[in-house]
Amino acid sequence: MATERTVALIALRLAAAGTAVAMGAIHLHLWYDGYRYLDTIGTLFLLNAIGAGLLALSLLITPTRLLPVLATLGALFTAGTLVALIVSLTSGLFGFQESLDANLVKPTLAVEAAGCVLLVALALLSRRGRRGRLGRRGRKPTADRLSPSAYDH
């Protein structure tokens, strides 16, 4: 029977992978829709779509013991994408100024913000469980942790 933590990890993995797929799909759609013709931005949109796809796949297949690192890196990747959009909306990025009214900007803000939250939650939950396991099994027993029956052997 699955524990509550296991169910939460699976749910967070799936939700985070879903937001990564959505982020990648948005960037790929916009790339096809004309952003590919923008210097630097076009290449970055395509790379973001590829990276988001790889992140989504990795979230689904990575062993739980490696999940804290992947989720942390994924959160940084997603946060970087979100920051780039915000900079593009406010002061411009690589000579390109985005508008809040442009196609898919508002959904992108929502998807990337949700992705950041989900990936941070996944990193924290997977790290918390890993520390607990290492604390119990990863150390050699010492006299203060041995039960009285351990001395009888």
On the question of pLDDT at 33 being above 50, the answer is: yes
pLDDT at 17 over 50: yes
CA-based radius of gyration for the chain: 21
- Give pLDDT tens digits for 110-122: 999 999 999 999 9
Q: Which of 55-64, 75-84, 87-96, 131-140 has the lowest mean pLDDT?
A: 131-140
pLDDT surpasses 70 at 104 = yes
Mean pLDDT for the chain?
A: 87
**CA–CA distances in Å: residue 150 to residues 53, 122, 135, 145, 147:** 51, 38, 19, 10, 5
Task: Identify the band that residue 98 occupies on the pLDDT scale cut at 50, 70 and 90.
Answer: confident
Is the pLDDT reported for residue 19 higher than 70? Answer: yes
For 59-80, the pLDDT digits (tens) are 999 999 999 999 999 999 999 9
**What is the reported pLDDT for 131?**
47
Q: What is the mean pLDDT of residues 9-18?
A: 97
Task: Give the burial string for 74-110 (b: 16+ CB within 10 Å, else e).
Answer: bbebbbebbebbeebbeeebeeeebeeeeeebeebee
Q: 124: number of CA atoms within 13 Å, CB side?
A: 6
